[in-house]
Amino acid sequence: MSTNCRIALDAMGGDHAPEEIIKGALEAAGQPVHILLVGRETVIREHLARLTGSIPSNIEIVEAPEVVGMDDNALAPLRRKRNSSIRICANLVAEDKADVMVSAGHTGAAMTSAYKVLGTIEGVSRPALAAILPRAEGHTVLLDVGANVDSKPAYLREFAVMGHFYAQMLFGIAEPRVGLLSIGEEEGKGNELTKETFRVLKETGLNFIGNAEGRDVYNGNADVVVCDGFTGNVVLKASEALADMIGKLIREELTRSTTRKIGAVLAKGAFADLKKRVDYSEYGGAPLLGVKGGCIVCHGRSNAKAIKNAIRVAREFAINRIDTKIQDKISDLHRRESSSALAVDV
């Protein structure tokens, strides 16, 4: 891996594909990054011809005749649609023709392709999808938000390690505070999974702050919150819906009378800023942590700006070599375990 990062970008995935994806790629092309636009070449060329005079030299087209649709199964790229754009993106990373893949298409299909085609980093059992959630000051990394439905303490420990290094890069801090999502602060609170995980996390050498309650996802007590994918997905979706609902209520209340409407007009800047602070497109995409190379999963609604940001995130991710750091830390944990097991045996 050099600084000249190569990104395999799924041109066909997402609600606004391929137009917005290609626009995003063009916006990113001014930067030191090599973009492989993966999809139907004729379609991509048509769009490029319309959007730009000449194709930038750091954009390359890679043919992928099939597309995974939203009604397809998550396993489609592995079975019926092995020539789909998502699958080809994964192939390119697996063959070291790209460093990271980026897709705004079928989330399940992207994660399955990355997991099965790229494989996991040595020592990692399962990848985890990490979301960045806004809070009043700063952000919180929540993982896993849906790569796995069921989990074990060993997986959650790996998630904690992955979240630690991701937060280091994202926040520029040395020892991110890692919390374990549970239903009470004390060590004994929670279910079997969290109680056992609590015990395991204490021994990792990470900055483990103990259990985090649901509110700690948003109040700034933790930089990283670890949970199983089922719980994380529920938290994420409930949060998104809550934010949407509050937005709707505010709009309703602000348009109820003329005086309020005037107030709303005056406060327009504040609302725009608020929107920017909670806007998914500012973060670009969520990484699937723990796979070899890397995979950035974007929101299906991604517009050109979100794609451009996702390419930025993908580049930063690849350059940082988070995978190596995760691998080293996990093998270190395993080494310590086997040596302590040995001590017990003797």
**Interface residues with another protein (CB under 8 A)?**
1-4, 31-32, 137-139, 168-174, 309, 312, 315-316, 319-320
What is the token pair recorded at 170? 């994202």
Query: Closest distance between another protein and the C-beta of residue 316, in Å?
Result: 5
The count of C-alpha atoms lying within 13 angstroms of the C-alpha of 86, restricted to the half-sphere facing its C-beta, is 35
Query: Closest distance between another protein and the C-beta of residue 165, in Å?
Result: 10
Q: Sign of the CA dihedral 55, 285, 105, 98?
A: positive
Residues 150 and 230: beta-carbon distance below 8 Å: yes
Is the CB of 112 or the CB of 309 nearer to another protein?
A: 309
Is the CB of 152 or the CB of 312 nearer to another protein?
A: 312
Query: Closest distance between another protein and the C-beta of residue 315, in Å?
Result: 7
Query: Closest distance between another protein and the C-beta of residue 2, in Å?
Result: 3
Is the CB of 49 or the CB of 173 nearer to another protein?
A: 173
Query: Closest distance between another protein and the C-beta of residue 212, in Å?
Result: 19
Query: Closest distance between another protein and the C-beta of residue 48, in Å?
Result: 22
Cβ atoms within 10 A of the Cβ of 222, count?
A: 27
3-state secondary structure 99-134: CEEEECCCHHHHHHHHHHHHCECCCCCCCEEEEEEE
Nearest to 296 by CA among 308, 286, 282: 286
Query: Closest distance between another protein and the C-beta of residue 329, in Å?
Result: 14
Rounded to 5 degrees, what are φ and ψ at 122?
A: -55, 130
Is the CB of 171 or the CB of 271 nearer to another protein?
A: 171
Q: How far apart are CA 145 and CA 280, in angstroms?
A: 15
Query: Closest distance between another protein and the C-beta of residue 140, in Å?
Result: 11
Is the CB of 75 or the CB of 274 nearer to another protein?
A: 274
Is the CB of 136 or the CB of 343 nearer to another protein?
A: 136
Q: Sign of the CA dihedral 82, 83, 84, 90?
A: positive
Q: Using the 8-state DSSP alphabet, how is residue 236 labeled? A: H
Q: Using the 8-state DSSP alphabet, how is residue 190 labeled? A: S
Nearest to 223 by CA among 183, 177, 170, 172: 177
Q: Which stretches of 191-228 are DSSP H helices? A: 192-202, 216-219
Is the CB of 66 or the CB of 223 nearer to another protein?
A: 223
Is the CB of 115 or the CB of 166 nearer to another protein?
A: 166
